[in-house]
């Protein structure tokens, strides 16, 4: 680890004022510190946000939306009884990620901005346009079986590692930020960027800008009776998704009044399929319908390497997540959240 300056500001304004090129904001540190240890990231200054006041609350606003401070811990949000009842697939996604110890440390804001788990990004000796613009992408001809099948470019085929982000994309979340240019709100769909020719610009955040809160609209809770997150991974605990899906339905007299579907681990950002959602609206729930909707959701998928299998995995995961959502949100969180083996009664 290279030497760095360390600052613990007392206020948000002080934190923003301390930022300069080469600095990094530190919250839980479960991603950033690991990457510093390997030399993947080498910030010259760390600005510790962990003790800033006013960023660790979960509150319901007057319009019925729920605001979650950026320093709320993942475990605290997932286990908040009121939040989990309103947004069960968000809680399920959180509980499927990492380990209990990491969820106790990781923050909401940090989770939204975590770096990809691509082995070539994490290896300082490998060419990676995201880490070192213009150096190339060793993943293109390397071990890429788990990498992107949607929205990738020749410059980068990494995928988003976040479980939490997938249901947030489906539910039209909004991110509140603060920075040198002031405060603003970013629709969740616009927070993360596809790689294009500049994969180093992974988000819509400007220089020195940070996330202060996440907001879920009141309308998102209308899906609470039929909402699931499903994650396919190499092992059930402490593993990132090979593919995942967040599915939510609002049923009315036996038909789908409204649907939400987003896929995870298929692109550099959560991949929401509004085309599949439109196809589902007005129809009666059925396995054949869900299979067709999943096919629509993956209609633009193309392999970026030896990963054509991920397209079929994603189709099946999306269809099964929709079927689980139609069956209804479990009264209690499954013993193995988001696992295809965690709720066999609904299969």
Q: What proportion of the chain, given as a percentage, has pLDDT over 70? A: 99
Query: What pLDDT sits at residue 343?
Result: 61
Most distant CA atoms of the chain, gap in Å? 63
Is 81 within a domain? no
Cα gap 226→2, rounded to integer Å:
49
Is 178 within a domain? no
Where do runs of H (alpha helix) occur along the chain?
12-18, 32-38, 74-78, 81-86, 88-95, 100-105, 108-112, 119-122, 165-170, 188-191, 274-280, 287-297, 309-327
> Is pLDDT at 345 greater than 80 in this prediction?
no
User: Containing domain of residue 311, as a range?
Assistant: 223-346
Averaged pLDDT, 188-202: 98
Q: DSSP secondary-structure letter at 203?
A: B
For residue 64, what is the enclosing H or E element?
A: none
pLDDT tens digits, residue range 14-41?
999 999 999 999 999 999 999 999 999 9
> Is pLDDT at 178 greater than 50 in this prediction?
yes
Q: Dihedrals φ, ψ of 344, to 5°?
A: -65, -20
> Is pLDDT at 347 greater than 90 in this prediction?
no
Query: Is the distance from CB of 95 to CB of 103 less than 8 angstroms?
Result: yes
Dihedral sign, Cα of residue 118, residue 124, residue 130, residue 134:
negative
Q: Which of 35, 53, 71 is the last residue of a domain?
A: 53
Q: Which of 10, 33, 53 is the last residue of a domain?
A: 53
Query: Which string of DSSP letters, residue by residue, matches 117-161?
Result: --HHHH-TTS-BTTTSTTS-BGGGGSS-TTS-SSS-BTTB-----
- Which CATH number goes with the domain that contains 339? 3.30.390.50
pLDDT higher for 237 or 133? 133
Left if phi > 0, otherwise alpha if psi is -120 to 50, otherwise beta: which for 232? beta
């Amino acid at each position: 680890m290279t030497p760095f300056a360390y600052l613990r500001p007392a206020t948000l304004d002080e934190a923003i004022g301390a930022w300069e090129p080469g600095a990094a904001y530190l919250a839980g540190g479960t991603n950033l510190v690991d990457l510093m240890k390997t030399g993947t990231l080498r910030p010259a200054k760390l600005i510790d946000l962990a003790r800033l006041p006013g960023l660790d609350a979960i509150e319901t606003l007057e319009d019925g939306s729920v605001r979650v401070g950026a320093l709320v811990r993942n475990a605290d949000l997932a286990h908040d009884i009121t939040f989990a009842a309103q947004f069960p697939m968000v809680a399920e996604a959180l509980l499927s990620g990492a380990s209990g110890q990491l969820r106790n440390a990781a923050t909401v804001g940090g989770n939204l901005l975590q770096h990809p788990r691509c082995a070539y990004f994490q290896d300082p000796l490998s060419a990676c346009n995201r880490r070192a613009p213009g150096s190339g992408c060793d993943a293109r001809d390397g071990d890429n079986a788990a990498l992107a099948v949607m929205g990738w470019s020749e410059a980068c085929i990494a995928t988003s590692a976040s479980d939490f982000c997938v249901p947030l994309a489906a539910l039209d979340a909004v991110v509140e930020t603060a920075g040198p240019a002031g405060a603003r709100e970013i629709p969740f769909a616009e927070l993360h960027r596809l790689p294009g020719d500049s994969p180093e610009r992974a988000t819509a955040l400007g220089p020195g800008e940070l996330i202060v809160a996440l907001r879920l609209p009141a309308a998102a809770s209308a899906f609470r009776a039929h909402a699931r997150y499903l994650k396919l991974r190499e092992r059930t605990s402490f593993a990132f998704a090979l593919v995942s899906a967040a599915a939510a339905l609002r049923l009315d007299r036996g038909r789908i009044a409204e649907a939400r579907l987003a896929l995870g681990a298929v692109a550099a950002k959560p991949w929401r399929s509004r085309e599949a959602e439109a196809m589902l609206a007005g129809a009666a729930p059925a396995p054949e319908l869900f299979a067709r909707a999943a096919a629509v959701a993956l209609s633009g998928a193309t392999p970026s390497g030896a990963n054509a299998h991920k397209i079929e995995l994603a189709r099946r995961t999306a269809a099964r997540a929709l079927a689980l959502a139609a069956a209804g949100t479990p009264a209690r969180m499954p013993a193995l959240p988001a696992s295809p083996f965690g709720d066999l009664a609904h299969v």
